[in-house]
Structure 1
Amino acid sequence: MIPDTPKGAVPYRSTMRCPMSKRHFSPEFRLEAARLVLDANYSTAQACEAMGVGPTALRRWVEQLRQERGGLTPETAKAMTAGQQQIQALHAKIRKLEMEKEILKKATALLMSDSLDR
């Protein structure tokens, strides 16, 4: 039995685990970490230790940087290189403009049908 615990009770710490908070890294940090592996010939383990990140995240960043250097724009992750960041920003602007265009089309059609009814 654990001291200061009522008989039959389970202490809080043994039943509840604190969830690890998800850490967020800037694109610049991710780029620097991936460059250690690709450009500075660090092993993944050495780069993880130097940057204080886990191997899974670092491997993902290295693969993303390889793809970006090959000209592929990441679909879900934030781009690390300046060129790919600009491409992502332009794609977002295109999506916004296309949405605005559709709204204007619908508004024009609605106004035209309303004026024909009068």
Structure 2
Amino acid sequence: MRVDPKGIGERLLQFRKSISFSQKQMAEQAEIDRSYIAHVENGSTPSSEFIIKLINAFNISIDWLLTGNGKMLLPEDEHVFNKLKEDHVKLLERLIILPEQKQNELIKVFTKIIEIE
């Protein structure tokens, strides 16, 4: 699956207009920079931190935001991202910049730890 940044920006704008928020209001609610919202709406690729903050603040479906599939909003309990803390996000950001082999090794270790509990 290929994610199209321009499509994300268009859907972000669509969502923002559906709730009648300005970029400033959205930025304040999600605790992100207003100018970054403008960049994403204009087709820039959003960071994972931006997406997580947006999802947490507005309960937007990640599937809808990234691909346009499914519903715009999901019930609160369906969003695993709503349970992420800032430390989790930082760990995930560090994980995704590692070489693929290291990522796979860490995932195997995490999986074994989870299976033990």
Return the TM-score normalized by structure 2: 0.26
Higher relative contact order (CA 8 A, sep 6+): 2
The structure having more radius of gyration, on CA atoms, is 1
